[in-house]
Every structure is written in structure tokens, then in C-alpha cells.
Amino acid sequence: MIAVPAVDLRGGKCVQLVGGDYDDERVRLDDPGAVAAEWVRIGFTRLHIVDLDAATGRGQNHDVIREILRDATVPVQVGGGVRDEARIERLLEEGASWVVVGTRAIEDEDWRREMADKFPGRLIIAADVRERKVVTRGWAETSQIDVIDFVSELSQLPLAGVLVTAVHLEGKMSGTDLPLMEDVAEASQWPVFASGGVTSLDDMRALEHRGLSGAVLGMALYTGALDARRLAEEFGA
């Protein structure tokens, strides 16, 4: 299983939010490119970039993402507000190894299938979840879609993976939702990456034991609650 540091972008800065609440920002760093480079220097071999502004329709951080991709020496997955073919294509051309698509992929089944067929093995479908219901549009809207049913429906598409974020635990450093992640891993044909609440090496080991392929980590790394070097040594590749 691989640990993937998150670089969440808001207003050109690297930030961390609690529980998906844009009014509860706990971390703000001025140079996202330097942050990304530091994670690689420590030993991580994959990065996760999210444009929070694009995800919520409040703007975009395209220039920052382009710079990170230009300088990256490890594979990078990029998401946040990716809702059309042109953006997927542009991110791949600029150096993203995978593109993470959420809201439109959830709401538009035809588009989801078309994009997966057009970019086989390059898309990761993101299902942000609160109490097992999928939430969209930057965590602002809760659907009636059960995440297990949704993940099961993805089995016929040529995806790179599925990313499931336990929004109700995001940034709270209280541990991840192990029953949810185990059920998702069992339901998925594709590698599953967990996000939300991962705080310790024990959390990582528990996720690995339950069949997860990786975990995206944010707050625990940025606050130092989790030793980045130890994490990279055990789960860096």
C-alpha cells in the first residue's frame, strides 16, 4: 500500500480544511511547489493535488498546478473541479499521470463512461462520502447515492482507481472509517485509495489489511501528528 501526500490548493496557497468546511482552515502555506518538492525529498513517490477553488466554483489554481507538474519528479494525480474533456486532456498533457474526476463523473453516467473509454487507465473516480452517501460540488451537496452501489457500478470501466474520502472525518485526525473503506475495497474492481482521518501508522496498516491500495494523507502530515519519514519508509512505494 502506498501513502500519498495531499497538496490542497486554495487561493494559490497550500491549505488543509477540517471536515470539508471552507470556514475551518487549519493550515496555510505560501509555496505549494516547495511543499510538493519537500514531500518527494522526504521519500514519497506519488503526490495528490486538489484544486479546492475549482471544486467549489470559487476560482482556479491552474498556474500553480502547472508549475508543480512541470517540476515533479514522481507521478502526480490531479483533481478538483475537473468537469470536461478539455481539462482532462490538458492536465495529462501538462504531466499529470492520472486525473481525478468527481462531481460530473458521479452525476453524468454517459460522460463518465465516455471519458473512461477515451482515457483508459488514466482516470481515478473520486467519491466523497458522508455517512455512506456520496457528496458532490466540493462537499456542498449530499446525494442519495450509496457509495457501495456506486463503486460497484464502476467495475466495467477502464479506470486507474477509486478514491473514497470520508468527509465526516476529514482533517479531524480521529482515525479513518475502516468499515466503510473495507466495504468499498470489497465492492471495487479497481484499486481503492482512502482519504479522511488517517492519522497513524496503525491506521495505514489497518487499511492495508482490509485490502486498500493506498491512502491520501493531509492534516496528520502537515501538523506533524504523523512522522512523515517513518510513513515514507514503510508506505512510500
Q: What is the pLDDT of residue 211?
A: 96
Q: Which of 19-28, 134-143, 218-227 has the lowest mean pLDDT?
A: 134-143
Q: What percent of the chain has pLDDT over 90?
A: 78
For the chain, give percent helix, strand, coil, nearest 5.
Answer: 40, 30, 30
DSSP string, 180-227: HHHHHHHH-SS-EEEESS--SHHHHHHHHHTT--EEEE-HHHHTTSS-
| SS3 of residue 57 by DSSP | coil
Q: What is the pLDDT of residue 19?
A: 61
Please state, in angstroms and rounded to a whole number, the distance separating the CA atoms of residues 170 and 95: 28
Q: What is the pLDDT of residue 183?
A: 96
Residue type at 202 in one-letter notation: D
Please state, in angstroms and rounded to a whole number, the distance separating the CA atoms of residues 103 and 138: 8
CA–CA distance from 13 to each of 25, 30, 90 (Å)? 12, 5, 22
108 pLDDT band, cuts 50/70/90, is very high
Q: What is the pLDDT of residue 201?
A: 96
Q: For the full predicted model, state whether its pTM sits above 0.95.
A: no
Catalytic residues: 8, 128
- From the CB of residue 77, how many other CB atoms can be counted at a distance below 10 Å? 27
Reply yes or no on whether the pLDDT at 70 is more than 90. yes
188 pLDDT band, cuts 50/70/90, is very high
Please state, in angstroms and rounded to a whole number, the distance separating the CA atoms of residues 143 and 129: 10
82 touches 100 (CB < 8 A): yes
Reply yes or no on whether the pLDDT at 39 is more than 80. yes
138 pLDDT band, cuts 50/70/90, is low
Do strands 2-10 and 192-195 pair parallel, antiparallel, or not at all (unpaired)? unpaired
198 touches 6 (CB < 8 A): no
Q: Which of 82-91, 109-118, 165-174 has the lowest mean pLDDT?
A: 165-174
**203 vs 143: which has the higher pLDDT:** 203
Domains in the chain, ordered, with CATH? 2-236 (3.20.20.70)
Reply yes or no on whether the pLDDT at 149 is more than 80. yes
